[in-house]
Amino acid sequence: MMLFWENLKMALVSLMNAKLRSLLTMLGIIIGVAAVVSILAIGAGVKKAVQDQITGVVNANAVAVASGKINVGKTSGGQGAASSLGASTLTPADIAALAKVKHVTAVAPISLVSGIMAHGAITANGALLLATTPDFSKTQTLKFTGGRFLESADSGKKVVVLGGQAKQDLFGDASAIGQTVTIRGLPFTVIGSIKASDSGASSLTGSSFDNAAYLPFETAKTFAGGTTPQILRLIAQADAADNVTAVAADAKKALLKSHGGQDDFTVLTQKDILSTVDTVLNLLTTFIVAIASISLLVGGIGIMNIMLVSVTERTREIGLRKAIGASSFTVLSQFLIEAVVLSIIGGALGILVAVALATVAGKLAHITPVFTPNAIMLAVGVSAAVGIIFGIMPAIKAARKRPIQALKAE
């Protein structure tokens, strides 16, 4: 232990005697650690933001049914060919089948209506026109800036509820309640406007519906030649969070029976969506971190280079230490500790830089970076490992020097 502290003291003295060279040597480690830690922090922040959006918007008790097969928890695979071309496999009979499932308290279909919504000369070209039923509000956490959602009495009527972005595009900051918008030339009365970013659906129902307009499901028949519009999603509401798994399993059995045994649909829960999001974000973060880690390799090579130079410059010092009784292990540990100290100090500075970078990036992107203990421990551990791996060769070279030859060196 005494030997360790003595070598640590000598390492710090040696680094302080060459401050500029030490700082330049640490630069690669600083950049590498800063890049890795800041990316991990921003990645964790993005993941938390997405998870909060999903859990905050979609009711935890909701179970969704999508047309076609979706590979949950994977980054590729998509869905069935028919579904990808827009041909839904869901039918009104599926609504009745889900409604009979034990612990299901509400079932809402979602259909897409083609057309452009306008208010006078102003159009909302990007608005999604969705047809659904009053039960949809029971499966979502909706906050209103005015008015209400669809009710049973609205069935067949020309009324509409606007999502936050759709309302802003058509009416700006003015109230939209009671105003008239046109859809494919037909007048619709606005009965509700949903707070921006809380307008529902997220991945469970297919996409973010902040830019949506909700019409009564029966009214959508007007745009489908009097027939039932194609159903893109079904959302079922379980009576309790503990029953969601059972509802999902029973829903699949009921729909298989409704579809004559054809497994041409996918049952999704909030947990499934979070799993998919985690898989995608983790893969992306890992890829970026792998690229950023290259700078750690460059930093390690820099440390090895400067330590080899240091061994050459301090040949007489090594010879003198060995001449007065220092063992090869003592000399080896001295230079190895010096390399590790150099690397760890660089890692610590890199963490400080990472905090600054992630904080600035987070403010610009409106994301709160998350610095986990695991990320900090990883940075410190990697820094120490780089020092050991790239410092061992110079340390061995120093330990192998013979005292007489070292003392004779100029």
Mean of all residue pLDDT scores within the chain: 81
What is the reported pLDDT for 80? 46
pLDDT digits (tens, 9 = 90+) for 9-39: 777 777 787 788 888 888 888 888 888 888 8
What is the reported pLDDT for 122? 92
What is the reported pLDDT for 382? 83
**Burial of 191 (C-beta count, 10 Å sphere; 0-12/13-18/19+):** buried
Torsion angles phi and psi, residue 268, rounded to 5: -125, 145
pLDDT digits (tens, 9 = 90+) for 360-387: 988 887 888 888 888 888 888 888 888 8
End-to-end alpha carbon distance in the chain = 33
Whether the Cβ atoms of residue 4 and residue 321 lie closer than 8 Å to each other: no
The token pair that represents 284 in the structure block: 């992306």
With cut-offs at 50, 70 and 90, classify the pLDDT of residue 82.
very low
With cut-offs at 50, 70 and 90, classify the pLDDT of residue 200.
very low
C-alpha span between 234 and 201 (Å, rounded):
11
C-alpha span between 356 and 328 (Å, rounded):
43
Whether the Cβ atoms of residue 38 and residue 122 lie closer than 8 Å to each other: no
pLDDT > 50? residue 206: no
The token pair that represents 99 in the structure block: 């409604």
pLDDT > 70? residue 1: no
Mode of pairing for the β-strands spanning 128-132 and 159-162: unpaired
pLDDT > 50? residue 199: no
Q: Mean of the pLDDT values across residues 346-359?
A: 90
- Report the range out of 36-50, 180-194, 197-211, 219-233 with the highest average pLDDT: 180-194
146 bridge partner residues: 193
C-alpha span between 390 and 301 (Å, rounded):
7
The residue among 65, 221, 202, 248 whose CA lies nearest residue 157 is: 221
What is the reported pLDDT for 77? 47
C-alpha span between 62 and 138 (Å, rounded):
9
Q: Please report, as a single letter, which amino acid is at residue 316.
A: R
